[in-house]
Amino acid sequence: MKTFPNVFEPALSDIIQQPFPLKSQWNSAYFGNTHPITLELGCGRGEYTTGLAIRNPDRNYIGVDIKGARIWQGARYALDNQLSNVAFIRTRIEFITSFFGPAEVDEIWLTFPDPQEKKRRAKKRLTGSRFLNAYRTFVKPGGSIHLKTDHPGLYDYTLKLLAYNNQQPEVCTTDLYASSLAETVGAIQTYYEQMFLREGKKVLYLRFALKTDHEYAEIPETE
């Protein structure tokens, strides 16, 4: 995978010591256009990243995951299908701010992230205040955050966090495929999503605009 031109997997020591070379330059130095950039964090096999890229050739897509074997499949598919608006980064999401400059990203998709159910792991939730504040450093003001999940607990936690920060979702549903969003948001299904649907699980979805004018506060444990 190191020979794939659409995959970037810098050593941790490199991104800690100096800015990633494409930071603030993804469009000019890699994509060669000025199209909006969408991130998929925890992209797995890249089905959603590549699926969105096919449906929206006027946007650029970057999938991020730490597991190289998963990324390989999406990267290979993108190359085989000549998807020039797709790239992948192999890294831990904790270091995502090392890769993007202010207002460089238009929106973020979180597709079936680990719900991190235990309280001691709450800070690792990708919709928690720690990560929302990280996204604020590189997402455009009002940029969209999309969450697709099969986990009611993560869905409820995210709604509660937004409410605690005086914010409401723009769209939300506890049954995506029984809603009017099925033909749009549900048009692309990941490997795990298909598995969850076969098991009879409902897919929950919400979208909200990321506030960049103030930091997000975490819900107190007593809340």
Q: Closest Cα to residue 75, out of 30, 43, 114?
A: 43
Q: Write the CB contacts of 102 (distance below 8 Å, at least 6 apart in sequence).
A: 24, 137, 138
Give, in order, the Cα–Cα distances in Å from 94 to each of 54, 89, 121: 28, 13, 13
Taking the C-alpha atoms of residue 25 and residue 32, their distance in angstroms, rounded to an integer, is: 10
CA-wise closest residue to 52 among 42, 65, 39: 39
Contact (CB, 8 A) for 27 and 35: yes
User: What span, in angstroms and rounded, lies between the C-alpha atoms of 218 and 165?
Assistant: 8
Active site residues: 114
